[in-house]
Amino acid sequence: MRLLYDDGTGGFSLAQFYGDEIPPYAILSHTWGADEDEVTYQDVMKRRGLQKPGYKKLQFCARQAFTHKLQYFWVDTCCINKWSDQELSESINSMFRWYQQAVRCYIYLSDFVGTDSQGFGRSRWFTRGWTLQELLAAKQADFYDSNGFYYGSKTTLGTWINQATGIPEKAITGQPLDTFSVEDRLSWAKHRQTKREEDSAYSLLGIFDVSMPLVYGEGRDKAYYRLLKEIESGGHTRELNQKYSKFLPSAVSTEQRNGVVETVISSPQVRAVPSMSATSASTSLPVKPVGAASDPVWDSHLRTWTVLRRSSKFQLYFRSHWDHGMRTVGKLGK
């Protein structure tokens, strides 16, 4: 995770941290302007971009972090090297957690002036796809107007946010998201917009506590289809089958026996090799098909099952892999 800090020369520098090394930090939630107006990773590295309109958002975030005695802060425009597809994918899959672990989240409403109370709920910030997870993930989220003046926290403004978004106040103020139905959580994003169509699905990964590779160019429908399959594998199979059955593969189910999560492919029958250890949860395990012929499941390019641990549960993470009649299945005990 890269974090910005004031380097004492009148500008900002980036520092890289991993795992337990990550220090306390603040995080910015905002809406982007034109791409050329935002300060990028390359701008910070080459110490340029000071004249860009987006630079004042970095200055705003730095000032607020200083008031809360935080040395580091994170801004998506320049803390991610978007020229690296691998880094972008890793960052998007981590973003919910980054907002969740931030000490403070500063929500900057660039089109709102605090003296116009009626304009709060009409801010563009409430219509964007990515800001949904930022609102829900952040534990301490404070709203600021375009002049940088504090307007209120998501707790004190919960009723207004509910009126602007339709999201229940309990979800806004921290009730665990898995206590809300899949249908409800999908509905919160229904009318939100993203610049790239696939992001309408990718921006929901953290809200459903799932991960998946990013495939820009696949289109919105395929991105949502993959998202629904990940949600299904995460334990919402029954609910999804009832409401979204036309989008989901019917031949895959999940069973739990004696603390072991096992993927079952209904046809053709499969015979699994011995289970892997917890330290090799991402290792592919070959499974031989039994019986004949063509099957729609095989034709749909099902690939590697990887088991990922999620708190006390397990999530079956469905990846694409198809290679000469080989199937893989992950099986891992608690």
pLDDT at 88 over 50: yes
The pLDDT value recorded for residue 244 is: 52
The 10 Å Cβ neighbour count of residue 175 is 13
The pLDDT value recorded for residue 296 is: 42
Confidence band of 317 (pLDDT split at 50, 70, 90): very low
Contacts 24+ apart (CB under 8 A), 294-300: 295/251, 295/267, 295/268, 296/251, 297/249, 297/251, 297/252, 297/265, 297/266, 297/267, 298/268, 298/322, 300/249
What does the pLDDT look like over 168-198, one tens digit per residue?
Answer: 999 999 999 999 999 999 999 999 999 999 9
Per domain, the residue ranges of the chain are 2-175, 177-248, 251-333
What does the pLDDT look like over 32-50, one tens digit per residue?
Answer: 999 999 999 999 999 999 9
- Helix residue ranges per DSSP H, 102-219: 130-137, 158-165, 169-172, 182-188, 199-202
Q: In which residue are the tokens 């229940």 written?
A: 168
pLDDT at 331 over 50: no
The pLDDT value recorded for residue 18 is: 93
Q: Cα separation of 125 and 105, whole Å?
A: 14
Q: Comparing C-alpha atoms, which of 127, 10, 29, 114 is closest to residue 77?
A: 29
What does the pLDDT look like over 114-168, one tens digit per residue?
Answer: 888 889 999 999 999 999 999 999 999 999 999 999 999 999 999 999 999 999 9
Contacts of 99 (CB under 8 A, 6+ apart): 27, 29, 105, 133, 134, 137, 138, 206
- Name residue 78's amino acid: C
Q: Cα separation of 182 and 134, whole Å?
A: 18
Look at 59 and 274; give whichever has higher pLDDT.
59
What does the pLDDT look like over 154-166, one tens digit per residue?
Answer: 999 999 999 999 9
pLDDT at 229 over 70: yes
Residue 53, preceding peptide bond in cis (omega within 30° of 0): no
Q: Comparing C-alpha atoms, which of 220, 228, 267 is closest to residue 246?
A: 228
Q: Cα separation of 230 and 228, whole Å?
A: 5
